[in-house]
Chain A
Amino acid sequence: MEKLVQKIGLKHGSGGRAMRQLIEEVFLELASPVDGIGLSALDDGAALRIGDQWLVVTTDSHVVHPIFFPGGDIGRISVSGTVNDLAMMGATEPMGLTCAVILEDGFPRADLERIRDSMKATALEAGAPFVTGDTKVVGRGDADGIFINTTGVALTRRVVTDAGLRAGDLLIITGTIGDHGMAIMSKRHDLGLQGDLRSDVAPINGLIRAALAAGGDDVVAMKDPTRGGVAGSLHEMAAKGKVGVLIDEQAVPVRDEVRAAGDMLGIDPLLVANEGKAVIGVRAASAGKVLAALRAHPLGRDAAIFARALGERPGAVILDTGLGKRLLAEPEGELLPRIC
């Protein structure tokens, strides 16, 4: 019924249904069987078996616009995004990062150095050393200022996927949602709310380490709700785990400023990107322990149990608004291109 798209649109990069469809239609062709978790799993990264450990590999290109925004910049995102993708697979101690930069002719050196300083500081925060890199320059108009790709590698003894949910599991969000996307949106649309809205961009491998230490094998699924927001993450986790997910909307932590901006723009914070948060699925018996460990960490003070996995309605994400219930639609895309 739906015909294949012949031209790529911005929505194909927005983390929603359109992007997933494009990847499935075009790139899955590249997948081949591996000993571990490979491309076909469409997870945050790959996990390859090495002896009794797993080598986790992830890569991410960063094209955020504007490159400097309240709470961060493209440099901080480029490190956090990759460190966090490793952490979502259970690998919280990065062995090395790569840095490949594409620059547009005429890009100011001062901005480049500012971005370098930000990358250095963020890498230090995450305990992630840069080990190699690449630099390319393209003509004016062939790129927009600067694009950064980073790849990360790390070893772990236990891999956590985004497919491990079972009925009865509880879901924790590690803090307030929507901060990054709303900060970018506010800056781009000049909403005049900038003073209140700051991106949450941060490496959260330390926070995840604390959660894994507290929950052990009972931490069964993780996902960082970047593009597509918490809604996008939950849709993937529900589909892959073949469970329904019921969100208690009133338990979802949202800053007043983010809520107000969302009301103004008609955008649900559940659909908005985060760059320093995780959705963590935990067996119910350990949820209290994991929550306490998260809240004891500076980046997890607002953590909350906000949803649970159901045995019914597999693949569906249902929102209990406190006044009623409805399905939470999977984000389509195009909400905000070039968010990270």
Chain B
Amino acid sequence: MAKDLTQELKFRDPAKARALAEAMQRNLDAIGREVSVMHVCGSHEQAIARFGLRAVLPRQLQLIMGPGCPVCVTDGPEVDEAVALAGMGVHVCTYGDMLRLPGTSRSLADAQADGGKVHVVYSVDQAVELARAHPAEEVVFFASGFETTAVATAAAALAQPPKNFSILSVHKYVPAAMDLVAQSKQTKIEGFIAAGHAAIITGWAIFEPFAQKTNTPVVVAGFEPLDVLASIVKLTDLIRERKAEVFNAYPRCVTREGSQPAQRVLWKVFEARSGKWRGIAEVPEGNLDLRPEFAHLDARKRFRIDTGAVRDEAASGLEAECICGTIMMGLASPHDCTLFGKACVPESPVGACMVSSEGTCRIWHTYGGAPDLRGVGLPASSEG
């Protein structure tokens, strides 16, 4: 434990943070106009919000969280499928964040309250174990997450799971979403911070075609506060120099090629297909679906999932006001939402972004939002 703490403190040194903030300010002064950059990862937002990093950013720099929460972008009708399966008496295993995610009208938590066999698991292996323990009953793993967790699901699929085990995949693929944001005419994102843990698997070179095509620099970043600040300095370097390059600011974990074995496992089992992301749009190559060779493990093929009974496309009054999709596209912040922190709170979330601990709204709610605190407590303004 002591060693972990020392390691951690190395990436939480206030003096280094100040130096990085100054470097950022010099870059923005040199650029001489307002700049917006986007990160696409809930863990990055957690570090930014937890440590209050926005309070040290230059005023001309907007740091926005994009579609970086796989739970949040899981579409209502996809949740309906899981709810319908639970209604059929099938065991449905999923990660904790997915439990309260609303479908078009109901969540898995509702299904559980009605006696559905819904289980929260910490890994796909626990779902496989459950299937082994109950060979006469069907067990479905409702599989969510980006590339990182998709590799774990794929590995389980390849490890000859029991016959009564199947997968309902709602895995999402991050690079596709970055494409979408970069090509949107409404957003003016001049640089991206890519998620370090996903890049451990994919390698950083995967972003090179994206950077060239969209003429936007990408910096791969880790998750300690200094990792995030250093990545923003590098990103503003690249913007200042007008270089649409990919830079790996997380070399202690990420390589150019990534993990080849993990990629082989991932693409052996999954293929990227177009799919609807909640509140956003149809995302080309945004969903990771099981390949036809794995049809025997595909819950959508194994069961006739009829979502008719649990589906209700007519959104309630509150849901109609929810702006999660606009927030995830980087066009609005939670403070722009009339529901945020009032009708929409973690105990009774209206939108997906308040459900998941990776969602922008949930994170902002936990860490006090993002008011401008740059001048607070400084000698000139404190003793009022």
Contacts and interface: CB of A to CB of B under 8 A. Distances in A.
Nearest to A260: B1
A7 to B, nearest CB: 13
Contacts, number: 103
Given A260-B1, A310-B382, A311-B383, A324 B51 contact: yes
A324 B347 contact: no
Interface residues of A, number: 32
Given A329-B367, A329-B368, A318 B225 contact: no
Interface string A1-35: 11000000001000000000000000000000000
A43 interface: no
Contacts of A334: 347
A324 B17 contact: yes
Contact of B5 (A256, A327, A332): A256
A335 to B, nearest CB: 11
B335 interface: no
Interface residues of B, number: 39
A250 B14 CA distance: 10
Contacts of A318: 373, 376-377
Top 7 A-B pairs, shortest CB-CB distance: A311-B384, A327-B368, A326-B52, A324-B52, A322-B14, A325-B55, A325-B373
B120 interface: no
A321 interface: yes
A310 B379 CA distance: 10
Given A324-B225, A326-B54, 16 more contacts: A167-B383, A246-B377, A246-B382, A312-B381, A312-B384, A318-B377, A323-B51, A323-B229, A325-B55, A325-B374, A326-B368, A326-B370, A326-B373, A327-B369, A329-B367, A332-B346
A104 interface: no
| Residue among A323, A332, A334 facing the most chain B CB atoms (10 A cut-off) | A323
A168 interface: yes
Given A246-B376, A318-B376, A329 B51 contact: no
A13 to B, nearest CB: 14
A320 interface: yes
A313 interface: yes
Contact of A324 (B55, B345, B371): B55
A328 B49 CA distance: 11
Contacts of B367: 326-327, 329
B342 interface: yes
B357 A266 contact: yes
A339 B348 CA distance: 23
Interface string A290-325: 000000000000000000101111000011111111
